[in-house]
């Protein structure tokens, strides 16, 4: 049995640390959720356990959280909450059947018992079953109900009221908070990783929102305040979106690839066939693809830098930088990161394809044919100095260019970009510090320096925003 427990910051027991609980290790002892009415109790700041942790070992002062439902998400929530030092009560319609599935530290009981003590109840059920909880309305009065549900696409279109607002309408005497729906059961259980730490939270009650924010933080997530419960519909739509920012850049890359593929096919395959009756159709899967990829990469890379130049030219022409850009330019500026990463993707594919070229049988036949020709010509030493140098330099420059592009791509990862300061970032992505995006019109600013320039530093190919 492994447990590592810090009570008031003091290690209480042995050092084993279960896999997947790293998020809990980031806890700031001061930021752990304190439930209402528990503000003066000793703080359990850090509590990592494995699934064999028994209930008896959860300190009695641990903040209590109830979970209604015993499905996949309830199980992940319970595991994560137990690992973060909470005392968890799971309310099931059939506790005997489901008890064995939960960590031993979580108490699986009836729905009535699970909601009796805790001030915070996580409703891990589907919308259509919310009404089955109405019998608990009196017990839930004054408590915080956290709606973690995600509608299906069809439900999202069908209902104009979000799941959270629906829950609030069923329980008008409780406080409803929307949270955790964007986190998958797997992430919830294994702990937050880079990039998916953010938990949008909304509610009409700031105090309840604050409580759930602290709870999310103590579970290793980063709460994002989304305002009132009216935003719940937007929050529920988040998991339904499929790469929304990538649609236009991906279509652009595809369009460019089709164009260059058609051009290279006509030039390298069709033209020799028509004019010289040479069959070079074997080039379609590798050679033509490989010739098209760098063209796409180059054009995409130029499209990353072009809007910054256009924006600067527009500002020069207008004589001011404090006016909005046209919508098309603004969208273009905002999609530079995606376009840049697609450029990197095409360049990486080109490198791989190029490395595989000598593996092709056609290449081996070409080499053998060349050797035979040399023997027939009685030429024992083929060495064209210029060709040799040309190829050496070509490969070296290609690799250097790819290395530079990789650096741009790596520094565009949020975790790395966030660890760089302004000077470091502008050193790596120099031309981008002057990239301009001006959805922002700023009225109260002296516009004198970088402090007014940097509104958002989303990575990369640089969505640095200037006012
Ligand atoms: N799975 C995931 O990755 C994520 C899920 N969610 C949300 O969490 C909620 C639960 O999802 P998930 O755990 O996957 O679903 P499951 O189907 O695994 O679990 C749903 C649970 O609801 C409980 N329940 C209560 N009343 C009823 C009823 N009348 N009929 C049927 N079941 C009832 C059941 O528990 P019992 O029988 O013990 O009462 C059941 O285990 C959903 O709203 C989902 O959108 C959100 C983010 C991620
Ligand atoms: Fe090349």
Is 190 a pocket residue for ligand 1 (Cβ < 6 Å)? no
Q: Which of 8-17, 124-133, 282-291, 424-433 has the lowest mean pLDDT?
A: 8-17
For residue 27, pLDDT over 50 is answered with no
User: 299 and 200, same structural domain?
Assistant: no
User: 250 and 213, same structural domain?
Assistant: no
Q: Give 284-342 pLDDT, tens digit per residue.
A: 999 999 999 999 999 999 999 999 999 999 999 998 878 888 999 999 998 998 999 99
- Report the distance separating Cα 5 and Cα 12, nearest Å: 5
Start-to-end CA distance of the chain, whole Å, equals 56
pLDDT of residue 190: 83
User: 261 and 213, same structural domain?
Assistant: no
- Report the distance separating Cα 216 and Cα 32, nearest Å: 9
Is 249 a pocket residue for ligand 1 (Cβ < 6 Å)? no
Residue 79's pLDDT band, with cuts at 50, 70 and 90, is very high
Read off the pLDDT of each residue in 206-232 and give the average, rounded to a whole number.
Answer: 95
- Report the distance separating Cα 225 and Cα 285, nearest Å: 50
- Counting the structural domains of the chain, the total is 2
**Which residues, at least 6 apart from 39, have a Cβ–Cβ distance to it below 8 Å?**
none
Q: Tell which wins on pLDDT, 274 or 4.
A: 274
pLDDT of residue 430: 62
pLDDT of residue 113: 95
User: 225 and 156, same structural domain?
Assistant: yes
User: 348 and 417, same structural domain?
Assistant: yes
Residue 59's pLDDT band, with cuts at 50, 70 and 90, is low
Is 74 a pocket residue for ligand 1 (Cβ < 6 Å)? yes
- Report the distance separating Cα 250 and Cα 315, nearest Å: 29
Q: Give 1-24 pLDDT, tens digit per residue.
A: 333 232 333 333 333 332 233 333
Q: Where in the sequence is the domain holding 391, given as residue range(s)?
A: 244-464
Q: Which of 101-115, 185-199, 448-462 has the lowest mean pLDDT?
A: 448-462
User: 221 and 81, same structural domain?
Assistant: yes
Strands (E) in 184-259, as ranges, are: 198-203, 222-225
Nearest CA to ligand 1 atom 19: 71
Q: Tell which wins on pLDDT, 7 or 118.
A: 118
Note the ligand closest to the C-alpha atom of 349.
2
Strands (E) in 283-386, as ranges, are: none
Q: Are 414 and 194 in contact (CB under 8 A)?
A: yes
User: 167 and 227, same structural domain?
Assistant: yes
- Report the distance separating Cα 198 and Cα 189, nearest Å: 15
Going 79 to 106 to 6 to 219, the CA torsion angle's sign is positive
- State if pTM tops 0.80: no
User: 254 and 224, same structural domain?
Assistant: no
User: 301 and 206, same structural domain?
Assistant: no
Q: Give 177-189 pLDDT, tens digit per residue.
A: 999 999 999 889 8
| ipTM for the whole predicted complex goes beyond 0.90 | yes
- Report the distance separating Cα 392 and Cα 403, nearest Å: 17
């Amino acid at each position: 049995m492994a447990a590592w427990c810090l009570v008031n910051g003091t290690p209480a027991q042995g050092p084993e640390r279960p896999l997947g609980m790293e998020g809990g290790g980031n806890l700031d002892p001061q930021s752990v959720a304190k439930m209402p009415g528990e503000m003066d109790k000793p703080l359990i700041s850090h509590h990592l356990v494995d699934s064999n942790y028994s209930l008896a070992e959860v300190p009695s002062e641990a903040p209590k959280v109830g979970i209604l439902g015993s499905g996949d998400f309830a199980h992940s929530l319970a595991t994560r909450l137990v690992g973060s030092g909470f005392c968890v009560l799971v309310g099931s319609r059939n506790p005997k059947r489901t008890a064995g599935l939960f960590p031993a530290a979580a108490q699986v009981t009836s729905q009535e018992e699970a909601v009796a003590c805790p001030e915070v109840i996580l409703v891990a059920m589907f919308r259509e079953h919310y009404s089955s909880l109405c019998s608990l309305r009196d017990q839930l009065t004054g408590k915080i109900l956290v709606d973690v549900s995600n509608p299906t696409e069809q439900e999202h279109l069908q209902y104009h009221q979000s799941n959270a607002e629906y829950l609030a309408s069923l329980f008008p005497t409780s406080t409803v908070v929307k949270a955790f729906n964007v986190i998958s059961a797997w992430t919830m259980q294994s702990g937050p990783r880079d990039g998916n730490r953010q938990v949008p939270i909304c509610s009409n009650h700031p105090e309840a929102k604050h409580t759930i924010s602290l709870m999310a933080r103590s579970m290793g997530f980063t709460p994002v305040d989304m305002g009132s419960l009216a935003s719940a519909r937007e929050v529920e739509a988040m998991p339904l979106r499929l790469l929304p920012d990538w649609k236009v850049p991906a279509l652009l890359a595809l369009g460019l690839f089709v164009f260059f593929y058609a051009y290279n096919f006509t030039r390298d395959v069709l033209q020799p066939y028509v004019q010289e009756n040479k069959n070079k159709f074997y080039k379609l899967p590798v050679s033509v693809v490989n010739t098209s990829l760098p063209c796409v990469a180059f054009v995409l890379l130029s499209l990353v830098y072009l809007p910054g130049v256009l924006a600067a030219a527009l500002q020069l022409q207008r004589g001011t930088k404090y006016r909005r850009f046209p919508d098309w330019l603004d969208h273009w500026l905002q999609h530079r990161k995606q376009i840049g990463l697609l450029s990197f993707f095409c360049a990486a594919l080109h490198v791989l394809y190029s490395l595989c070229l000598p593996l092709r049988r056609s290449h081996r036949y070409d080499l053998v044919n060349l050797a035979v020709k040399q023997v027939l010509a009685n030429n024992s030493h083929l060495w064209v100095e210029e060709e040799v140098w040309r190829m050496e330099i070509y490969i070296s420059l290609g690799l250097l260019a790819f290395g530079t592009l990789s650096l741009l791509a790596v520094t565009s990862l949020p975790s790395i970009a966030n660890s760089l300061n302004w000077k470091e970032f502008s050193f790596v992505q120099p031309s981008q510090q002057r990239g301009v995006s001006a959805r922002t019109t700023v009225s109260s600013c002296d516009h004198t320096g970088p402090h007014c320039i940097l509104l958002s530093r989303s990575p990369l190919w640089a969505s640095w925003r200037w006012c």
